[in-house]
């Protein structure tokens, strides 16, 4: 069973993006590549197709891969709901891609790097299947550095340290991947594909986090301890778990050309 199989059914419920964001991400990827259409995209860690579906419905030559059959099942369901467009979805590990070299204009990875051990192999495979002049594109949605999610994430990392669960700090894997890619890329472009207003509360963060692949794989006693520590802190810091903040979030893309 792949790690994300367990959380596939709930993934979209807690991590949906505003309706216009996926198409804006596709447009920004094409613009970064200097292409207007007929783009050959490989989406590593395609998941439920939150972003990938926009490429499929636009008729691009899109291939999505993911080791989680559960996540790909949700992707197919999304496509059915959108009218039944066909997509090439392959159950595979990004560290061993079943494709020959030089096939794709762009290799997309959206919120994948922190979930994969073996970063070098993943990035090596991404580069192998790119055509010369193609780009590895990293994407993520981000909130303000002092926003509710960022502060809750940091507190949770601290609580994990306190319990001796030494994991990487949030964002470490992605930062390391960016350094690796930048060291060998010939060119790099950063763009904000979309911005939107959203309302965040500490309770929403905790509810969402409990459906995360890594958190939900911890023993339930540990999960409860962490939730208690962070809830106490959030109550003291924000006044209530339901204190709401209006924030601007953005979808950022960083393209590395090879």
Ligand X SMILES: C[S@@+](CC[C@H](N)C(=O)[O-])C[C@H]1O[C@@H](n2cnc3c(N)ncnc32)[C@H](O)[C@@H]1O
Q: Is 56 in the site for ligand X (CB under 6 A)?
A: no
Q: Which of 24, 28, 42, 66 binds ligand X (CB under 6 A)?
A: 66
Three-class SS of the chain = CCHHHHHHHHHHHHHCCCCCHHHHHHHHHHHHHCCCCCCEEEEECCCCCCCHHHHHHCCCEEEEEECCHHHHHHHHHHHHHCCCCCCEEEECCCCCCCCCCCCEEEEEEECCHHHCCCHHHHHHHHHHCEEEEEEEEEEEEECCCCCHHHHHHHHHHHHHHHCCCCCCCCCHHHHHHHHHHHHHCCEEEEEEEEEEEEEECHHHHHHHHHCCCCHHHCCHHHHHHHHHHHHHHHHHHHCCCCCCEEEEEEEEEEEEEC
Nearer to ligand X, 111 or 245 (CB): 111
Q: Is 112 in the site for ligand X (CB under 6 A)?
A: yes
Q: At its nearest, how many Å lie between ligand X and the CB of residue 54?
A: 11
By the 10 Å C-beta count (0-12 exposed, 13-18 middle, 19+ buried), 139 is classed as: buried
Tokens coding 227 = 């939730």
Q: Is 22 in the site for ligand X (CB under 6 A)?
A: no
Interacting positions 168-207 with ligand X (CB under 6 A): none
Q: Is 115 in the site for ligand X (CB under 6 A)?
A: yes
Nearer to ligand X, 116 or 234 (CB): 116
The stretch among 33-41, 112-120, 129-137, 156-164 that binds ligand X (CB under 6 A) is 112-120
Q: At its nearest, how many Å lie between ligand X and the CB of residue 243?
A: 27
Q: At its nearest, how many Å lie between ligand X and the CB of residue 92?
A: 7
Helix axes 69-81, 8-15, angle to 10 degrees: 60
The candidate with the shortest Cα–Cα distance to 185, out of 194, 196, 177, is 177
Q: At its nearest, how many Å lie between ligand X and the CB of residue 51?
A: 6
Interacting positions 116-175 with ligand X (CB under 6 A): 116
Q: Which of 32, 68, 201, 255 binds ligand X (CB under 6 A)?
A: 68
Nearer to ligand X, 63 or 238 (CB): 63
Q: Which of 30, 33, 56, 94 binds ligand X (CB under 6 A)?
A: 94
By the 10 Å C-beta count (0-12 exposed, 13-18 middle, 19+ buried), 245 is classed as: middle
Q: At its nearest, how many Å lie between ligand X and the CB of residue 226?
A: 19
Nearer to ligand X, 112 or 238 (CB): 112
Binding residue count for ligand X, defined by CB under 6 A: 21
Q: At its nearest, how many Å lie between ligand X and the CB of residue 123?
A: 12
Q: Is 67 in the site for ligand X (CB under 6 A)?
A: yes
Nearer to ligand X, 71 or 238 (CB): 71
List residues binding ligand X (CB under 6 A): 2, 4, 44-48, 50-51, 66-68, 71, 93-95, 110-112, 115-116
């Amino acid at each position: 069973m792949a790690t994300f199989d367990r959380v596939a059914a709930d993934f979209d419920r807690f991590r949906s993006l505003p309706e216009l964001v996926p198409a804006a991400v596709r447009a920004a990827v094409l613009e970064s590549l200097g292409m207007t259409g007929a783009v050959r995209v490989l989406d590593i860690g395609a998941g439920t197709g939150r972003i990938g579906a926009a490429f499929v419905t636009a008729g691009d030559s899109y291939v999505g891969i993911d080791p989680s059959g559960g996540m790909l099942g949700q992707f197919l369901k999304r496509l059915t709901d959108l009218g039944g467009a066909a997509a090439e979805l392959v159950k595979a590990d990004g560290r061993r891609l079943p494709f020959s070299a030089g096939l794709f204009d762009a290799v997309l990875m959206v919120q994948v790097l922190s979930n994969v051990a073996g970063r070098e192999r993943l990035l090596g495979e991404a580069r192998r299947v790119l055509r010369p002049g193609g780009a590895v594109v990293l994407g993520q949605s981000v909130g303000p550095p002092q926003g509710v999610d960022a502060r809750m994430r940091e507190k949770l990392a601290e609580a994990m340290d306190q319990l001796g669960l030494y994991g990487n700090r949030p964002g470490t894997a992605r930062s390391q991947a960016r350094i690796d890619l930048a060291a060998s890329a010939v060119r790099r472009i950063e763009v904000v594909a979309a911005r939107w207003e959203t309302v965040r509360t500490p309770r929403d963060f905790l509810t969402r986090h409990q459906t995360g692949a890594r958190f939900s794989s911890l023993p339930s006693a540990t999960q409860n301890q962490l939730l208690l520590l962070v809830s106490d802190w959030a109550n003291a810091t924000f006044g209530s778990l339901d204190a709401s903040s209006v924030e601007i979030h953005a979808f950022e893309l960083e393209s590395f050309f090879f």
